[in-house]
């Protein structure tokens, strides 16, 4: 981000910054510290699609948007799955869903129980079954205690 700030100071064209933004607060802080015109969210949205809404609200309106509760989080993962299947089709889409679902359901105490189901997804119905099962589990305290290097094996599935 230091190099990004130097570029922004040296040029008169718009500059966007990107890199390791995992919360809306980090995005706002980096924009404020560097003076960039925009920030880009990359890996930070993996497993936290709601970060887009949170960052937009904070950067544009100064509003803080709370995290999703568990049913809403599972619902957002489900909608993402529907869009992936619609775009890629069942065969390729199901392979991609393995990593998207694993990312979306990480960071809670019941996640390990779902990993075998996630790795076995080969049909759209399998993805729906995993998400139905996720809704039955008590997630406990949801946290993002996993680092990107520690994500479930399913996240490494090849498209």
Instruction: Please compute the mean of the pLDDT values over residues 137-149 and round it to a whole number.
Output: 55
Mark whether 89 and 150 lie in a shared domain: yes
Mark whether 80 and 125 lie in a shared domain: yes
pLDDT at position 66:
92
Tokens of 56: 């937009």
pLDDT at position 146:
40
- The rounded distance, in Å, linking the Cα atoms of 132 and 47 is 17
Q: What is the pLDDT of residues 97-141, one digit of tens each?
A: 999 998 888 777 777 778 778 888 999 999 999 999 888 887 775
Mark whether 81 and 108 lie in a shared domain: yes
Total domains in the fold of the chain: 2
Tokens of 140: 């406990």
For 112, phi and psi rounded to 5 degrees? -60, -30
Instruction: Please compute the mean of the pLDDT values over residues 84-105 and round it to a whole number.
Output: 92
Mark whether 57 and 75 lie in a shared domain: no
Instruction: Please compute the mean of the pLDDT values over residues 10-15 and round it to a whole number.
Output: 97
Quote the domain boundaries for residue 49. Answer: 2-61
Mark whether 6 and 31 lie in a shared domain: yes
Predicted TM-score (pTM) of the model is 0.74
- The rounded distance, in Å, linking the Cα atoms of 17 and 140 is 35
Mark whether 39 and 104 lie in a shared domain: no
């Amino acid at each position: 981000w230091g190099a990004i700030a130097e570029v922004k100071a040296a040029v008169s064209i718009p500059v966007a910054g990107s890199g390791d933004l995992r919360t809306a607060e980090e995005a706002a802080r980096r924009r404020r510290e560097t003076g960039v015109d925009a920030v880009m969210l990359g890996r930070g949205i993996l497993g936290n699609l709601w970060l887009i809404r949170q960052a937009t609200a904070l950067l544009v309106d100064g509003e803080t948007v709370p995290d999703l509760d568990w049913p809403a989080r599972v619902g957002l993962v489900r909608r993402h799955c529907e869009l992936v299947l619609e775009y890629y089709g069942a065969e390729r889409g199901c392979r991609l869903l393995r990593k998207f679902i694993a990312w979306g359901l990480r960071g809670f105490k019941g996640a390990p129980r779902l990993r075998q189901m996630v790795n076995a997804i080969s049909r759209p119905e399998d993805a729906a079954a995993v998400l139905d099962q996720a809704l039955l589990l008590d997630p406990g305290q949801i946290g993002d205690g996993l680092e990107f290097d520690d994500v479930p094996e399913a996240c490494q599935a090849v498209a």
